[in-house]
């Protein structure tokens, strides 16, 4: 599965006017900020929120200023505007859209956070700037993984609902202005400082690109020249994961909108709430109807319908490698443009000349933050023989000290529950696999009891792990790490590359010549030197091998959502 990183300083966007990040730390969360147990408001608040003079109160997690949510219309949209003919794209006439007209509004529900603050939660699918009921009759119930209690029930899209969302985006994609605004059980500090803040930062970064997407002028001969146009792809279907639902939405929406596309975005069924809150903000700041459409639904129904829809021009997906394979098969029927960011089993190499204390802290952050539910999690730690025992001892002690497991609303908590019962069971099953394969269980390995409820797992450490073991090769997506040893650089690189994945990797050494050499040899889309989980909106993100196709973030993210047209101009060459 996927996820990424970081907290940044303010960016103004594009390749210019972007100041370097100050005090950047991993999106996975830093030890100090969580250990301090001090809630700090974000450095930046979305323009739509700041304009209303609001402030954030803990502990409201990823949903932001929940105590003041705009009200939602009581009636669905029944009319769409679209070009009266392909040759006159700027002239519009109203058209009765029967699919939308037959829909009824989906009423929001009032929820109350543990600190007593009440807020309004949308529950419908968001099509053409309206929250409406799904025609499928299906719903998704969001469950608090700490208490196993129902939070709210939202509408689940079927194929007909997906079609309505795609139609809304398709009919309006020619008129999109380059407008870019604002703007799952994880600990509050993580949700606030990473998921929420990163989404704001990424939106701001791509807002700066919106008027800087242009082609080239190319001199060919003295009588001819050529130029290129960078044009939007059209309607984009986006499927985001559950581990960082807001920031992953920004990674996809930001570049897609900056390039002039329209979007239908589907959230993971495990985390259907925050994307609907984002939809309400999209409406509040004035996006034209149909530009951004948000649906919840199950993968086999809504996800498949979105990928296979003939009017969807591109599909961008973040999730498991297995699901990505199915998406490739479905998208191949119409040769859709695709971007896939999939799984990982990232290695972290610790050489004997490293700063051992820093290597231990970054290694812990790299796997144990966000409950280990990070696609770039450095879940394979390879340590040089001479410091292996000392590293294992210090890493185990750090995990026991820092990885405080508990309710996500408790400011002392570092590790909350796994996102769902299925994911909880998956992690426990892999722990049993590790035991049966002969790996040494150093600590953890069991469910963690928090008031006899919730999907909590002890941080788990295996040592003496061999390459052929499943826990060395397969993505677990939980707080489970394997630590193994190597003798020299060649063995370290060989073991690191012994994987079907190639997303991220980390190298700890004071020898920068070695660091650059190893970074070049490791088969990964990203390498961190003396850190882990770093990311920046200006730097491409993506993997090699079975970790994905294409890149997100940076200028590369714009290239994924635009297409180049070449124009040749004859200035006087006659035949």
Instruction: Look up residue 211 and give its two tokens.
Output: 């008027």
Count of Cβ atoms closer than 10 Å to residue 12 Cβ: 12
CB-CB contact of 236 with 313 (8 Å): yes
Q: What is the value of pTM for the model shown?
A: 0.74
Show the tokens assigned to 302.
């809504």
Q: What is the mean pLDDT of residues 275-298?
A: 91
Looking at domain 347-537, its CATH superfamily turns out to be Aldehyde Dehydrogenase; Chain A, domain 2 (3.40.309.10)
Note the pLDDT tens digit of each residue in 436-469: 999 999 999 999 999 889 999 999 999 999 999 9
Digit-coded pLDDT (tens) for 20-60: 333 333 343 333 332 333 323 333 223 332 333 333 333 22
**pLDDT of the residue at 534:** 92
Domain residue spans of the chain = 40-77+97-337, 347-537
Q: Is 128 exposed, middle or buried (0-12, 13-18, 19+ CB in 10 A)?
A: buried
Q: Which CATH superfamily is domain 40-77+97-337 in?
A: Aldehyde Dehydrogenase; Chain A, domain 1 (3.40.605.10)
Measured CA to CA, the distance from residue 31 to residue 14 in angstroms comes to 31
Q: Which residues are catalytic?
A: 341
Dump pLDDT digits (tens) for 347-359: 999 999 999 999 9
Contact 9, 21 (CB under 8 A): yes
The CA-based angle 20-24-27, given to 5 degrees, is 125
Nearest Cα residue to 65 out of 74, 56, 73, 76: 56
Ramachandran area for residue 208 (φ above 0: left; ψ -120 to 50: alpha; else beta): alpha
Question: How many residues belong to the chain?
Answer: 575
């Amino acid at each position: 599965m996927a996820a990424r990183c970081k907290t940044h300083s303010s960016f103004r966007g594009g390749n210019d006017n972007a100041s370097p990040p100050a005090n950047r730390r991993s999106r996975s969360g830093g030890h100090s900020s969580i250990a301090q147990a001090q809630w700090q408001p974000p450095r930046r608040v979305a323009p739509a929120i700041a304009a209303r003079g609001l402030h954030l109160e803990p502990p409201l997690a990823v949903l932001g200023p929940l105590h003041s949510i705009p009200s939602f219309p009581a009636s669905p949209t029944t009319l769409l505007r679209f070009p009266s003919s392909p040759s006159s794209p700027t002239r519009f006439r109203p058209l009765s859209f029967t699919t939308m007209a037959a829909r009824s509004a989906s009423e929001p529900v009032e929820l109350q956070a543990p600190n007593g603050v009440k807020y309004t939660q949308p529950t419908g699918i968001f099509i053409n700037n309206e929250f409406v009921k799904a025609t499928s009759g299906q719903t998704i119930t969001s469950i608090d993984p700490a208490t196993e209690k129902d939070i709210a029930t939202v509408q689940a899209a079927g194929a007909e609902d997906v079609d309505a969302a795609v139609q809304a985006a398709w009919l309006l994609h020619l008129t999109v202005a380059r407008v870019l605004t604002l703007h799952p059980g994880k600990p509050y500090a993580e949700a606030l400082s990473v998921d929420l803040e990163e989404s704001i930062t990424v939106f701001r970064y791509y807002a700066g690109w919106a008027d800087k997407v242009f082609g080239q002028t190319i001199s060919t001969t003295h009588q001819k020249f050529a130029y290129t146009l960078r044009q939007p792809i059209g309607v984009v279907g986006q499927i985001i994961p559950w581990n960082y639902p807001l920031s992953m939405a920004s990674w996809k929406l930001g570049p897609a909108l900056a390039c002039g596309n329209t979007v239908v975005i589907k959230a993971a069924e495990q985390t259907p709430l925050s994307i609907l809150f984002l939809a309400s903000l999209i409406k509040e700041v004035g996006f034209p109807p149909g530009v951004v459409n948000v649906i919840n639904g199950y993968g086999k129904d809504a996800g498949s319908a979105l990928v296979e829809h003939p009017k969807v021009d591109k599909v961008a997906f973040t999730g498991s490698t297995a699901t990505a394979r199915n998406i490739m098969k479905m998208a191949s029927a119409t040769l859709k443009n695709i971007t896939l960011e999939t799984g990982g089993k990232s290695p972290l190499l610790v050489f004997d000349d490293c700063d051992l204390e820093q290597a231990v802290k970054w290694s812990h952050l790299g796997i144990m933050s966000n409950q280990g539910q990070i696609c770039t999690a450095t879940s394979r730690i390879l340590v040089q023989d001479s410091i292996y025992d000392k590293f294992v001892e210090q890493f185990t002690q750090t995990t026991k000290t820092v990885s405080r497991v508990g309710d996500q609303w408790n400011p002392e908590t570092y590790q909350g529950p796994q996102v769902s019962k299925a994911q909880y069971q998956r992690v426990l099953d892999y722990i049993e696999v590790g035991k049966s394969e002969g790996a040494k269980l150093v600590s953890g390995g069991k469910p963690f009891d928090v008031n006899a409820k919730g999907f909590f797992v002890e941080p788990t450490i295996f040592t003496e792990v061999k390459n052929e073991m499943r826990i060395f090769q397969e993505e677990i997506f939980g707080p489970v790490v394997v630590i193994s040893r190597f003798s020299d650089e060649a063995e370290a690189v060989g073991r690191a590359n012994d994987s079907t994945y190639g997303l991220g990797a980390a190298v700890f050494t004071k020898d920068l010549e070695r660091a650059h050499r190893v970074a070049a040899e490791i088969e990964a889309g990203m390498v961190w030197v003396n850190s882990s989980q770093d990311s920046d909106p200006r730097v491409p993100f993506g993997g090699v091998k079975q970790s994905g196709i294409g890149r997100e973030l940076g200028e590369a993210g714009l290239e994924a959502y635009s297409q180049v047209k070449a124009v040749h101009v004859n200035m006087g060459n006659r035949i």
